[in-house]
Structure 1
């Protein structure tokens, strides 16, 4: 995992053509201009210190380098606020290989280690009720089911699940 870079745009546009990502995701990247705008938004979040987006990469053999397999973010980080939100997605070619749970575990550990002194006590994971894959990822990553949330269109058009992971003392 590493922060997003402008050189990720081409791979992101390709991965973003996946109908499942378009269905469950909150951002649609149709072309290089959209992708560059999105990456710059991620970079602004890092600079502001309130949103930390990471490209999830897998090493490939040979000189080709790493392949984009997903994305993950820590959102709504505010000093003194006890909760922040996590979100993630996995590229179609990488699903079923444990990418999301491993990335979520890494992000969770990093978030609590980095922001505990600022008062971070819990992370919230939200997904639509019919996104069964995200529910499995939440359970595998020890995010306990908390409640059903009512739909909040347009960003959350269906009811959702709220899962919580608390910082260990």
Structure 2
């Protein structure tokens, strides 16, 4: 039995092309991760604040390099799309933005991000999120991007709101952290256009 509704974004849209680099405001650039970025990823994940909000810890540079290889593979598998947020002039890694839980047919994905300790307080996360959001909604054609964070993570909430992600509510006891179950704030951005019911 055929589906009555066409795919919002055609499967293969990511897999059939190389991951692009994207411009961001304020002297930033989003680019695909490179194995040579492993020391920067490892260093970022030694930070206690970053560890507080993440379930994984990098135990070595080699482990961080393996993560990067997985991130690169998942682009072509259309599972996730991960970018390094870098200084446009020096190419120094300042953070990461990503689309996770990608469902091209449904036109949806989840936004994720972190900022390296030395780059915090400079708007790196919000500008990186804004750049990736524009690309995902306007160029790729996704319809809805969700962003969740612990209700205790006030800095992440500020990033979401600055990037235009409206607060939609609280998911109770939704994610297990090292210190127990956390309620999660749900934010989302919706594409400005209305979908064509004909699917054309």
- Do the structures match in fold with TM over 0.5? yes
1:120-169 Cα deviation digits (max 9, x unpaired): 21100000000000100111111000010122353683010000111111
The corresponding residue for 1:23 is 52
* 74-83 vs 31-40, which moves further: 74-83
Task: Quote the Cα distance in structure 2 between the aligned partners of 1:93 and 1:79.
Answer: 35
Task: Quote the Cα distance in structure 2 between the aligned partners of 1:153 and 1:167.
Answer: 27
> In the TM superposition, what are the counterparts of 1:18-167 in structure 2 within 5 Å?
18-59=47-88, 65-116=90-141, 120-154=142-176, 157-167=181-191
Higher radius of gyration, 1 or 2: 2
| Structure with higher helix content | 1
Aligned: 1:12 with 2:41: yes
RMSD of aligned Cα (Å) = 1.6
The corresponding residue for 2:24 is none
Task: Quote the Cα distance in structure 2 between the aligned partners of 1:45 and 1:124.
Answer: 19
The alpha-carbon deviation at position 59 of structure 1 amounts to: 4.1
Q: TM-score, length-normalised on structure 1? A: 0.89
Tell me, which stretches of 5 or more residues in structure 1 are unaligned? none
Deviant stretches of 4+, over 6 Å? none
The alpha-carbon deviation at position 30 of structure 1 amounts to: 2.1
Q: Provide the secondary structure at the position in 1 that maps to 2:182.
A: coil
Q: TM-score, length-normalised on structure 2? A: 0.76
1:20-77 Cα deviation digits (max 9, x unpaired): 11001233212112101211110111111221000111145xxxx3211100101122
Instruction: Report how many aligned residue pairs link the two structures.
Output: 162
